[in-house]
Structure 1
Amino acid sequence: MVLLLVVLGFAVTRPRGWPEVVVAVPAAVLLVAIRAISLPYAEAELTRLAPVVGFLAAVLVLAQLCDDEGLFRDAGALMARACRGRPRRLLVLVFVTASAITAVLSLDATVVLLTPVVFATAVQVGARPKPHAYACTHLANTASLLLPVSNLTNLLAFAASGLSFTRFAALMALPWIAAIATEYLVFRRFFATDLGAGASVLPTPARPREPTEPEVPVFVLVVVACTLAGFGLTSLAGINPAWAAFAGALVLAVRALAQHRTTPTGILRAANVPFLAFVLALAIVVRAVVDNGLAGTVRHLIPAGATLPALLGTAAVAAVLANVINNLPAVLVLLPLAAVAGPGLVLATLIGVNIGPNLTYVGSLATLLWRRVLHEHDTEPDLGEFTRLGLLTVPTALIVAVLGLWAALHLIGG
């Protein structure tokens, strides 16, 4: 357990900017060497996660190529145009845009690629950036409930649930909508002063300059739509949906290379190979910790069955554990235990590890990335304000999302 905390501590702080993998891989090798986990078990864990990590790599490349095509820039221009001199509209536009991007292109796209665009758009329309920047990190976590591709935790849960891509999405649609709506209502109240002040930044007689007509990136939108359709079709056909992600990324990569907007090195960099290696190494570390006592401790906390109290209890345990040891190791610990009781508890676990991290900075790697993006814009989020907002959003969003899951399980079936 100590070694796991060391790996996570390094991932959180990243001294000198070193990648997480420089500690995670030696830790995994050490655990195998001292036989805390046997080599065959470690190899089995790598084999189990290899398709998931490949899927993640394809989605990361797809998101970066979409950015190279101007998708996020054009999204910002469309939001600015839709405000039409009414900055208070921007929050709902950010919620819609961030929720869609998180669901389709993963939470990393929202944190790393959309957040800077939201900053620029807020300045352009005369709104205070803070509520909209906070919306990016909250929705990167909360809005990642919908699709298996929205989050690495989703990919892991998808593999453990035994559900098809379409059934996974159908069961999570209601929790997704309920959680986002709850976040929006809380944001409107919590940031009422900032939103009101932003609306009066421009002098009354002045009319804001009308944004130029943004171009709609038709090609990239068609590729993304076809990729989404491919996820569903491959899943129905019993084929790993990762192939659809690879196909979408390949189409955009060929186009970008032909137009000299990227290079093979740039595409490889977008795949973030060090982070992929960190995920695999972390899985071995977590497996060793689980096999050496943690499973017995946590097993008593996971309820049996898919009743509403069991779903609520599982989501609560997952949320707490995510804020103690980060959501990625939390889901690796909990999924084998939840999967025994069926997909209902797996999805409840996912709700906990996706929404729960909005409570603290260390709950998810996405939140840590978001803080770095804000630092690049000479902005430092206030810990007290972040925590107060989390205390208002997380418990309520967890409850309504689990209620949505419970209703979906009864309407659709697990």
Structure 2
Amino acid sequence: MRIAIVGMVLLVVGAIAAITGVLPGSELAGLAARVVPILAFVVAVTIVAELAAEAGLFRVLAHRLAALARGRAIVLWLFVLVLAVASTIFLSLDTTAVLLTPIVVSLAAHARISPIPFALTTVWIANTGSLLLPVSNLTNLLAAEHLDLHPLQFAALTAAPAAAAIVVTAAIVFLTRPRQLLARFEPEQAERPDDPVLFWVAAATVVSLVPALVSGVEVWIPASIAAAVLLVAFAIRRPAVLRPGLVPLPLVLFASGLFVSVEALHAANVTDVLAVVAGTGSSPLDLLRLAGVGAASANAINNLPAYLALEPFAADPIRLIALLIGVNAGAIITPWGSLATLLWHSRLTSMGVEISWPRFMLLGLLAAPLTVTAATFALAWSAT
């Protein structure tokens, strides 16, 4: 609810800018044409993820993986890592934060091992693992639209930094929690889906959606079709699940407010000062400078407005990917660095898992520079 209120305040600020002429109507219309399809995708994929979770898809998958781990926490953690990467890449970082977090915490609780390494893996991978595809992060969708890139062309640019970010993140989690990850546990019996029909409809829908998201079709179209299929299935088999809360209205209001307010700042030339700190050029150090500015900005004000503010100063595709590295993989220090982190913490507290923010931020201060540096140099290497 607080996110929705912030979004409404930002929309009011943007409306005042439009009424007073600070934000011209033509620029506002151009902004709407750019972001409405993106927000439509966010709504649709959130509905898909929520209904797939209601059908038991993620829970059953997690329990199957726990059974395959055969009592070894390290194997279970590797499975969680793979699941977090796949969820983030194909269904977005917010989906991972919202839906995977309670699953991995429940798995850890049933196995009687610490949930902290699994929870930390989930939130870090949700951010650092969100570089590969446009659908992985809202910032990526904006960048892909800005560059007019097919998803596979986008992935070709981001593959090396995405791999580097994931590997470094995983290494840091393991090296900071080796005793907990090398423990043993007693596997619990795998759960069966409550409604096999809904389970298989959800499974088929998600499996079909994944290739559609990289087909080159505007992503809001297959996501909307998938959402419609699941809405019909639940309307027939479990209508009580269908509620207004399935629509992520607070997130839409928050994102819309950020879009409009940052566009107003651009129109007023307030963000021009960032050109000095962002620098120019595409040498490894130039890219690292831009990524570092992006990471610092994301942790200061949130990754979405940080990207929007710095986008005009990332003039070519390689610099734009460097900016994404900073605002995506670097946004793991402050709780407000990304919306995914706030959603993750909300799920943890609802399950009784306490996280020390000072300790979280100290770990982030270790992980963010290492991850951003590794990903940026991987980008520079792949671009040569």
Q: TM-score, normalized by length of structure 2?
A: 0.91
In 2, distance between residues paired with 1:353 and 1:376?
27
Q: Could you tell me how far 1:273 is from its partner in structure 2? A: 2.8
Residues 299-308 or 212-221, more deviating: 212-221
Of residues 181, 200, 204, the one that matches 1:222 is 204
Q: Could you tell me how far 1:219 is from its partner in structure 2? A: 4.1
Structure 2 vs 1, CA of residues 287 and 161 (structure 1 numbering), >3 Å: closer, same or farther?
same
Within the alignment, does 1:303 sit opposite 2:279 as a pair? yes
Q: Could you tell me how far 1:250 is from its partner in structure 2? A: 2.1
Of residues 362, 371, 382, the one that matches 1:388 is 362
Kindly indicate whether the alpha-carbon contact (under 8 Å) linking 1:80 and 1:211 is maintained by their aligned counterparts in 2.
Answer: no
Structure 2 vs 1, CA of residues 305 and 23 (structure 1 numbering), >3 Å: closer, same or farther?
same
Partner of 2:268: 292
Q: Could you tell me how far 1:88 is from its partner in structure 2? A: 3.2
Kindly indicate whether the alpha-carbon contact (under 8 Å) linking 1:79 and 1:121 is maintained by their aligned counterparts in 2.
Answer: no
In 1, distance between residues paired with 2:250 and 2:4?
10
Q: Secondary structure at the match of 2:282?
A: coil
In 2, distance between residues paired with 1:390 and 1:20?
25
Kindly indicate whether the alpha-carbon contact (under 8 Å) linking 1:318 and 1:331 is maintained by their aligned counterparts in 2.
Answer: yes
Correspondence list, 1:50-199, <5 A? 50-196=36-182, 199=183
Instruction: Name the amino acid aligned to 1:303.
Output: G
Partner of 2:226: 248
Report how many aligned residue pairs link the two structures. 380
Within the alignment, does 1:357 sit opposite 2:331 as a pair? yes
Residues 130-139 or 306-315, more deviating: 306-315
Structure 2 vs 1, CA of residues 347 and 209 (structure 1 numbering), >3 Å: closer, same or farther?
closer
- Where structure 1 has 5 or more consecutive residues not aligned to the other structure, the ranges are 1-10, 203-207
Q: Secondary structure at the match of 1:381?
A: coil
Q: Could you tell me how far 1:218 is from its partner in structure 2? A: 4.8
Partner of 2:31: 45
Residues 135-144 or 55-64, more deviating: 55-64
Instruction: Name the amino acid aligned to 1:88.
Output: I
- Where structure 2 has 5 or more consecutive residues not aligned to the other structure, the ranges are none
In 2, distance between residues paired with 1:345 and 1:18?
32
Q: Could you tell me how far 1:80 is from its partner in structure 2? A: 1.9
In 2, distance between residues paired with 1:168 and 1:271?
28
Structure 2 vs 1, CA of residues 407 and 261 (structure 1 numbering), >3 Å: closer, same or farther?
farther
In 2, distance between residues paired with 1:190 and 1:301?
33
Instruction: Name the amino acid aligned to 2:112.
Output: G
In 1, distance between residues paired with 2:168 and 2:19?
48
Residues 106-115 or 296-305, more deviating: 296-305
In percent, how many aligned pairs have the same letter? 33
Q: Could you tell me how far 1:209 is from its partner in structure 2? A: 5.2
Correspondence list, 1:362-381, <5 A? 362-381=336-355
- Measured on the aligned residues, the alpha-carbon RMSD in Å equals 2.3
Partner of 1:20: 6
Partner of 1:275: 251
Instruction: Name the amino acid aligned to 2:245.
Output: R
Within the alignment, does 1:36 sit opposite 2:37 as a pair? no
Residues 291-300 or 34-43, more deviating: 34-43
Kindly indicate whether the alpha-carbon contact (under 8 Å) linking 1:99 and 1:139 is maintained by their aligned counterparts in 2.
Answer: yes
Kindly indicate whether the alpha-carbon contact (under 8 Å) linking 1:122 and 1:129 is maintained by their aligned counterparts in 2.
Answer: yes
In 2, distance between residues paired with 1:119 and 1:52?
31
Structure 2 vs 1, CA of residues 143 and 213 (structure 1 numbering), >3 Å: closer, same or farther?
same
Deviations 1:287-318 (A, max 9, x none): 12223243320112233343322222211111
Instruction: Name the amino acid aligned to 2:165.
Output: A
Kindly indicate whether the alpha-carbon contact (under 8 Å) linking 1:78 and 1:214 is maintained by their aligned counterparts in 2.
Answer: no
Deviations 1:85-140 (A, max 9, x none): 22232221211111111111111111111111111100112211111111111111
In 2, distance between residues paired with 1:119 and 1:148?
28
In 2, distance between residues paired with 1:368 and 1:333?
21
Partner of 1:211: 189
Partner of 1:4: none
Partner of 1:6: none
